[in-house]
Amino acid sequence: MAHRIRRPRHLEHPQQDPLTRRTPPHPAAGPPAELHAGARRPRGHPVACSPGRGVPGGRRGRRIYTRAGGAVLRRARSEVHEPAGRVDPAVAPVGSDGPAGVLSEPLPGELFFLLRRVRAKFSLVSDCAETASRDFLVLDALGGQDWASQIDLAERLGINRTIMVQVIDRLEDRGEVQRTRDPGNRRQYVLSLTERGRAALEDQRLAVAERDALLTSALTRKETARLNELLALLLPASARPLVRGSENLVTQADLRLRRQGDDKLAGTGLRLRFYRPLSALAALGPCSQQQLAESLAITGPAASQLVDDLVKQQLVHRGQDPHDRRRYALEVTAPGREARAVIATAVRQLAADMTALLGPGGEDDLRALLLKVDSAAITATAP
């Protein structure tokens, strides 16, 4: 059998550069940008296929490879050379010259969502995580007195009993809280602060006071007092004397209202937090995840997690963006539209509950104060 003699690699393609072993760009792809010596090819610059692959007039048609994000993606030549910056009016971002912003009109329960937005803004300069907020609440409550019943403390603070067990375990592991048997009732423990716990509480109180001053810097003292008074009305009556500071009041009010809203959706598998993204996508039509994040004023990772949850429940469909095949286009499904109507009912009920809790004039006052806090620029960083 005759053996096939292979030509040297640098001679396999006559047009190939024997030093770089790269094929010069095809004339149809246009001249490449001039590069200085040693420079790398700019990201997204077209690289022509080697001869014999994707030759014009061939069965597969002309293809161009583009380098993007470390991967080589195949795209049709017409896509590579189409004008940049093309935006479909149907998916124009909020604030552009396209259609009105997705949330330009008030949604039912918009005061609740405004409260959530302010809490998100607070988190930029402070640790508003649920665990940190609850840890401080418990330490602060124990700073005033010992508690003979863990269950009683949980009910007074409006914290779920199971979560309270986790909080106490965490504080005990850090050596900040101790449990001792109640001499009057051997079946229960008395909760008290240790010396380390008292030192930690003092440090946290100072930090909370400094953050509160920063976060409410746009308000007068009278306005701050009114804000705190209204936020306290959204908490259980037993918890109002124990929750202090604007940051903690915002966090605990938001957590309580979110629980109440989710309770109204019990048995449906839906969550109150699905309402705004479903409303945004219903108004924007198919759009990218980035546009959704911008319309909701949330971070990319938060939008990603939210979209994953919506897709998992088949409320949103991830299709392909017709203008950029590297991106997904998000679109509300038929079950998603039905879910939005169900959640809207719960949101309206929650809004009615808030109005009743705040009393006459309270809703308007809280909205005005939250808007003032939300619009203020935070230029400093809290410790």
How far apart, in whole angstroms, are the C-alpha atoms of residue 26 and residue 42? 18
Instruction: For residue 330, list its beta bridge partners.
Output: 287, 318
pLDDT (tens, 9 = 90+) of the chain, 383 residues, equals 554 544 444 444 444 444 444 444 444 444 444 444 444 444 444 444 444 444 344 444 443 333 333 333 333 333 333 333 333 322 233 333 333 333 434 455 678 888 888 887 777 665 555 678 788 889 998 988 888 788 888 888 888 888 889 999 999 999 999 988 877 777 778 899 999 999 999 998 998 888 888 889 999 999 999 999 999 999 999 889 888 889 889 989 998 999 999 999 999 999 999 999 999 999 888 888 888 888 887 888 888 999 999 999 999 998 876 666 667 789 999 999 999 999 999 999 999 999 999 999 999 999 999 999 988 755 444 44
* C-alpha closest to that of 155 among 229, 236, 243: 236
- State the pLDDT at residue 284: 85
Instruction: For residue 180, list its beta bridge partners.
Output: 190
The model's pTM = 0.63
- Return the amino acid letter for 173: D
Q: Is 321 left (phi over 0), alpha (psi -120 to 50) or beta?
A: beta
Residue with tokens 């001249």: 31
How far apart, in whole angstroms, are the C-alpha atoms of residue 64 and residue 29? 8
Residue 190: burial class (beta carbons within 10 Å; 0-12, 13-18, 19+):
middle
Sign of the dihedral defined by the CA atoms of residues 76, 78, 81, 84, in that order: negative
- Return the amino acid letter for 187: R
- Return the amino acid letter for 276: R
DSSP state of 120: H
Report helix, strand or coil for 319. Answer: strand
How many CA atoms are closer than 13 Å to the CA of 313, on its beta-carbon side? 19
- Return the amino acid letter for 215: L
DSSP state of 37: T
How many CA atoms are closer than 13 Å to the CA of 288, on its beta-carbon side? 16
What are the percentages of helix, strand and coil residues in the chain, rounded to 5?
A: 50, 10, 40
How far apart, in whole angstroms, are the C-alpha atoms of residue 158 and residue 239? 7
Q: Are 239 and 157 in contact (CB under 8 A)?
A: yes
* C-alpha closest to that of 245 among 362, 356, 133: 133
- State the pLDDT at residue 11: 45
DSSP state of 57: T
How far apart, in whole angstroms, are the C-alpha atoms of residue 211 and residue 217? 10
Domains of the chain: 272-344 (1.10.10.10)
Q: Which residues in the chain belong to E strands, given as ranges? A: 46-48, 63-68, 71-76, 177-182, 185-193, 316-320, 328-332
- State the pLDDT at residue 219: 94
How far apart, in whole angstroms, are the C-alpha atoms of residue 148 and residue 352? 37
- State the pLDDT at residue 295: 86
How far apart, in whole angstroms, are the C-alpha atoms of residue 271 and residue 264? 9
How far apart, in whole angstroms, are the C-alpha atoms of residue 211 and residue 246? 9
Rg for the chain, CA atoms, rounded: 30
